[in-house]
Amino acid sequence: MKNYFFQKVYAVAKDIPKGKVITYKLLAKLAGSPGAYRAVGSAMAQNPDITSIPCHRVVGSDGSMHGYSAGEGIKTKIEKLKQEGIKFKTPNRVDLEVSLWSIF
């Protein structure tokens, strides 16, 4: 069951456009399990292909940074997001009013 859910999470995450982010909670909802945001975090931590599944674009519900397994962790995640034009409210918190992927 976990593998099936992870595959759904990865399928949705592949569609997150450059320059936008999504929260773990919204990603869980889009993958069909609204309460499974921690499982989304596990899926992102086990991302099998960071080149096609942009796990760096997944952030906390308040825009905060949570884990990143590539490079230097959160520092690398922030650098990648800034390179894509993501706006930050604070050094470690994305401005969701500007950068949230609005698909609803």
List the domains of the chain with CATH numbers: 2-99 (1.10.10.10)
pLDDT value for 10? 96
pLDDT value for 63? 97
User: What average pLDDT does range 78-86 have in this prediction?
Assistant: 96
Judge whether 57 counts as a catalytic residue.
no
pLDDT value for 2? 59
pLDDT value for 78? 96
Q: Which helix (H) or strand (E) holds 24?
A: helix 24-30
pLDDT value for 104? 60
DSSP per residue, 27-76: HHHHTT-TT-HHHHHHHHHT-S-TTTS-GGGEE-TTSB-----STTTHHH
Q: Does pLDDT of 68 surpass 90?
A: no
User: Which tens digit of pLDDT belongs to each residue from 12-67?
Assistant: 999 999 999 999 999 999 999 999 999 999 999 999 898 999 999 999 999 999 98
Q: Which candidate in 13, 21, 55, 59 is catalytic? A: 55
**Is pLDDT larger for residue 2 or for residue 67?**
67
